[in-house]
Amino acid sequence: MTGRHTRPRARTGRRILQFVSGLSLTLAILCVFHVGWVWWGDAFDGIHTQQTLAVRHGVKDVDAGDATRIAEPRGGDPPAETEPGHGAVIGWMWIPRFGHDWKRAIQEGTGTDVLANQGIGHYGHTPMPGGKGNSAYAGHRTPGDLGAADTLRPGDPIVIQTARHWYVYKVQSSWMTTPDDVAVVADQPGQGDTRSITLTTCKWSLDEADSLSARLIIRGRLESWSDVGDGIPAELADGTSRPAVRARMAASRVIRRISVRMPVSRVLAAAAGGAWLLLAGLAWLIWHGGRPRREPTWNPLTLAWRLQTGPVPLRIILFILFWTMILFAEWAWLSPWLDATIPLFSTGPSLTGA
Q: How confident is the model at residue 150, as a pLDDT?
A: 93
Residues 6+ positions from 346 with CB-CB distance below 8 Å: 338, 339, 340
- Distance, in Å, from the CA atom of 116 to the CA atom of 269, rounded to the nearest integer, reads 23
Parallel/antiparallel/unpaired status of strands 120-122 and 103-108:
parallel
pLDDT, tens only, 146-202: 888 999 999 999 999 998 999 999 999 999 999 889 999 998 887 778 899 999 998
Parallel/antiparallel/unpaired status of strands 215-227 and 165-177:
antiparallel
- Distance, in Å, from the CA atom of 48 to the CA atom of 77, rounded to the nearest integer, reads 34
- Distance, in Å, from the CA atom of 64 to the CA atom of 155, rounded to the nearest integer, reads 20
- Distance, in Å, from the CA atom of 51 to the CA atom of 158, rounded to the nearest integer, reads 20
Instruction: Please name which of 222, 221, 219, 223 lies closest in space to residue 201, comparing C-alpha atoms.
Output: 219
Q: Assign 186 to helix, strand or coil.
A: coil
Between residues 18 and 277, the one the model is more confident about: 277
Contact 214, 160 (CB under 8 A): no
Active site residue 31: no
- Distance, in Å, from the CA atom of 43 to the CA atom of 37, rounded to the nearest integer, reads 8
Map out the domains of the chain as residue ranges: 12-47+262-352, 57-238
Chain-centre distance of CA 255, in angstroms?
12
Q: Quote the strand ranges of 115-242, DSSP E.
A: 120-122, 133-139, 157-162, 165-177, 195-202, 215-227
Q: Assign 82 to helix, strand or coil.
A: coil
Q: How confident is the model at residue 159, as a pLDDT?
A: 97
Give the number of residues written for the chain. 354
Contact 318, 305 (CB under 8 A): no
Question: For residues 102, 40, 48 and 199, what is the CA-based torsion angle, rounded to 10 degrees?
Answer: -50
Number of Cβ within 10 Å of residue 74's Cβ equals 14
What is the rounded end-to-end Cα distance, in angstroms, of the chain? 70
* pTM value > 0.85: no
Active site residue 100: no
Q: Band the pLDDT of 66: cuts 50, 70, 90.
A: low
- Distance, in Å, from the CA atom of 31 to the CA atom of 23, rounded to the nearest integer, reads 12
The CATH architecture assigned to 57-238 reads Beta Barrel (2.40)
pLDDT higher than 80, residue 343: no
Q: Band the pLDDT of 207: cuts 50, 70, 90.
A: low
Question: For residues 196, 129, 81 and 166, what is the CA-based torsion angle, rounded to 10 degrees?
Answer: 110
Stretch among 126-135, 229-238, 287-296 having the lowest mean pLDDT: 287-296
pLDDT higher than 90, residue 233: yes
Element (H, E) at 104: strand 103-108
Instruction: Please name which of 314, 327, 331, 311 lies closest in space to residue 272, comparing C-alpha atoms.
Output: 327
Q: Assign 228 to helix, strand or coil.
A: helix
Stretch among 32-41, 107-116, 204-213, 269-278 having the lowest mean pLDDT: 204-213
- Distance, in Å, from the CA atom of 342 to the CA atom of 324, rounded to the nearest integer, reads 24
Q: How confident is the model at residue 89, as a pLDDT?
A: 92
* Per-residue CA distances from 302 to 82, 297, 308, 322, 337 (Å): 61, 7, 10, 13, 27
Q: 76-86 burial string, b = 16+ CB within 10 Å, else e?
A: eebeebeebee
- Distance, in Å, from the CA atom of 334 to the CA atom of 345, rounded to the nearest integer, reads 11
User: Which of 34, 100, 140, 165 does the annotation list as catalytic?
Assistant: 140
Mean per-residue pLDDT, 284-292: 79
- Distance, in Å, from the CA atom of 196 to the CA atom of 186, rounded to the nearest integer, reads 10
Contact 335, 263 (CB under 8 A): no
Stretch among 51-65, 295-309, 314-328 having the lowest mean pLDDT: 51-65
Instruction: Please name which of 108, 178, 102, 196 lies closest in space to residue 142, comparing C-alpha atoms.
Output: 102
User: Which of 34, 48, 100, 202 does the annotation list as catalytic?
Assistant: 202
Number of Cβ within 10 Å of residue 328's Cβ equals 26
Q: Band the pLDDT of 215: cuts 50, 70, 90.
A: very high
